[in-house]
Amino acid sequence: MSSRFAFLSEAGMDRSSLIKGLQLVQKKEGFISDEAISAVAGHFAMSEAEVEGVVSFYAQFKRNKPGKYQLSVCDGTACHIKGSSLIQEWISMELGIRPGETDTDALFSLETVACLGCCSLAPVMSINGKVFGKLDRKGTIKILKDYRKNG
């Protein structure tokens, strides 16, 4: 195993710790690369296909390198009723990406999440954990342009 993934020892060697190992990789690397799949498979004495199966099953694991800014659009009940699907569509049109993708500049990644816990501000999105609420088209596009300008 590459010394780059030596931290996997923190998860132990037992297969029951696979998820913990993958979480460590994602925390350290930001996503689960092909090289990480291979290292994790070797560490836990599993096939790469088995590891890939687990990674693809759980939404928490990302296979694409994330952008500098992680956009999370809330689709909880309050946000959904207040038009969160429109927020996601406006972002997709502005950036040319769908949920689970990163733009070509590696500046923005987009995801839809179940709830951000800010229901009174619906509809909301967060960018790297900073919450923006009561969004409309104009406000959403302005936020994206401000982040793009500040790169």
pLDDT for 37 equals 97
Residue 1 is predicted with a pLDDT of 57
Please tell me the predicted confidence (pLDDT) of residue 64: 85
SS3 111: strand
Domain spans, the chain: 3-57, 69-150
Report the distance separating Cα 64 and Cα 34, nearest Å.
Answer: 10
Q: Which fold has domain 69-150?
A: Glutaredoxin (3.40.30)
- Whether residue 60 contacts residue 101, with contact meaning beta carbons closer than 8 Å, is answered with no
Task: Specify whether the CB–CB gap between 61 and 22 falls below 8 A.
Answer: yes
DSSP result, 118-151: -GGG-S-EEETTEEE-S--HHHHHHHHHHHHHH-
* pLDDT tens for the chain, residues 1 to 151: 568 999 999 999 999 999 999 999 999 998 999 999 999 999 999 999 999 999 999 988 988 889 999 999 999 999 999 999 999 999 999 999 999 899 999 999 999 999 999 999 999 999 999 999 999 999 999 999 999 998 8
Give the E-state strand segments of 3-148 in sequence order. 69-74, 108-113, 125-127, 130-132
